[in-house]
Every structure is written in structure tokens, then in C-alpha cells.
Amino acid sequence: MSNIALILGGGVGSRMQQDIPKQFLTVNDCPIIIYTMRAFQNHPEIDAIAVVCLEGWENVLQAYAKQFNITKLKHIVRGGDNRQSSSRIGLYELEKIYDAEDIVLIHDGNRPLTSPEIISNCIITTKKYGSACAAIPCADVMMKTEDGILTPEEYPRDKLRVGQTPRGFYLKKICDIHRRALQAGITNSIGSHTLMLELGEPVYLYRGSEKNFKITTVEDIEIFKALLNSEKPKYLK
């Protein structure tokens, strides 16, 4: 049985308003997507890495992988029109190569601080339940609003979780889910886990980390740089 990391790096990063896609921005002279790939490269249970790449950036990604010694990168696939289509394209490509019961870990290319423990727990949870989604407790008060100004109510945060990646699935199962989604006319779902839920399939959670955040804004890059240079105080347990 193989464990394959499928990294989604096909976004243009429009919210960051930079000249190049956010996953290719460099922090301390290293592209963000390389930090992400390195987490899976260094994990002993990951057998291969596949990247769904933004069109026109495939050669750049290949060059960076060679420069930073990402030897587990085996597949680069051109991305689709949205996240669902990019995931589907990548999964269908893997389905041609790997076995039905191999595990695929779908991960955001701009989520670079994934820990070895998170990757291990994703694999463990997938083997136990058939699916896995990283999530963390919701620490803030969550309020409902229609206009961004008035809030009539808040949600009990003890029943809420903030979803993260990686999300783990058996390869044939998640490919079949994507086929069923197309048959049902679902074409722009947020992620493979939401497809599972929309089609009545259960999704099981495991504990993520506040550090495992998704870089979306310029402020997030500042936080990422600070975390790279930080050390846990010795007095903390």
C-alpha cells in the first residue's frame, strides 16, 4: 500500500494581489510550495508526491523541486478551472498509476507548516475510518450575519471545527465520489471532503494545528516568517 501526497498548487492567488502566484512567493529564499512539499518529502510514510500545478508554471515547479532536492515529486499535473476540477484531474491521473486501496492525502500548496504528526494522523485516521480531515477547535466567537454589520445570533463554538488539510481518502473511493459528483451536477464544491458530505458520505476528523494555517494574505506571510524563526519557550509544557 502506498501513501501519495496530492498537493493542490493550481491557484492564482488573486486575493494576495501579487505579480506571481502566492505558492511561488519566496520566504527566506525558498518558495512557499517547497516548504509544503518538504513536509511530505521528509515524512517516512509518504511514498510519492504529485502536484496539481498552475498552467505555465510546471517547468518552474520542476526546477525548484530539483534545486531543493524534492526527490519524491513524481507527477506534475496541470490544474483545472476551480478547486474541484483540479482535485479531480489530479486524482484521475493518480488512479491510472496507483492501486485502488492506496491512500491519497490531498493538501493545500500554500499550507506550508504541516507537521509530521498531522501527516501520520491523517494516514492513521484514513486507515481506520476511510476518510480523514484535519480540524481544530474554534477558539473565537462565531456570529451569523447577512449584511456584515448586524448579527442576530452566534453559533456554539464547542460544536464547531475549523477545517484544514491534509485530507485523506482511499484512492478509488474518492475518485468514485468525484464521478458521482459530476453525475449529480456538482462542479464547484470547496473540497473533496465537502463532496463526500454532499453525497451523504461521512467524513472523520482528526486534530490539526493552529500552525497548520493557509497562507492567503500578505499578513499571513509575515506570520509564516515569524513562525519559521520562532522557538517554543522552555517553560511551556
Residue 235: partners with Cβ closer than 8 Å, 6 or more residues away:
none
Residue 191 pLDDT? 86
61-83 b/e with 16+ CB inside 10 Å = b? beebbeebebebbebbbbbbeeb
Q: What pLDDT shows up at residue 132?
A: 97
pLDDT score at 148: 84
The DSSP line for the chain is --EEEEEEE----GGGT-SS-GGG-EETTEEHHHHHHHHHHT-TT--EEEEEE-TT-HHHHHHHHHHTT-TTEEEEEE--SSHHHHHHHHHHHHHTTS-TT-EEEEEETT-TT--HHHHHHHHHHHHHHSEEEEEEE--S-EEE-SSSS---EEE-GGG-EEEEEEEEEEHHHHHHHHHHHHHTT----S-HHHHHHHTT----EEE--TTS----SHHHHHHHHHHHT----TT--
Vertex 212, ends 26 and 237: CA angle to 5°? 120
| pLDDT confidence of residue 195 | 92
The whole model's pTM is what? 0.93
At residue 159, the pLDDT reads 85
pLDDT value, residue 150: 84
| Burial (CB count <10 Å: 0-12, 13-18, 19+), residue 217 | middle
Give every CB contact of residue 29 below 8 A, 6+ residues apart in sequence.
Answer: none
Question: What per-residue confidence (pLDDT) applies to 4?
Answer: 98
* Per-residue model confidence (pLDDT) at position 13: 54
Q: What's the confidence (pLDDT) of residue 16?
A: 56
Confidence at residue 234, expressed as pLDDT on a 0 to 100 scale:
64
pLDDT tens track for 68-88: 999 999 999 998 889 999 999
CB 162 within 8 A of CB 168: no
List the chain residues with pLDDT less than 70: 11-18, 232-237
Q: Is the dihedral of CA 60, 46, 26, 83 positive or negative?
A: positive
Asked if 114 contacts 122 with a C-beta cutoff of 8 angstroms, the reply is no
pLDDT at 12: 63
CA distance 33 to 111: 8
Asked if 206 and 133 touch (Cβ cutoff 8 Å), the reply is yes
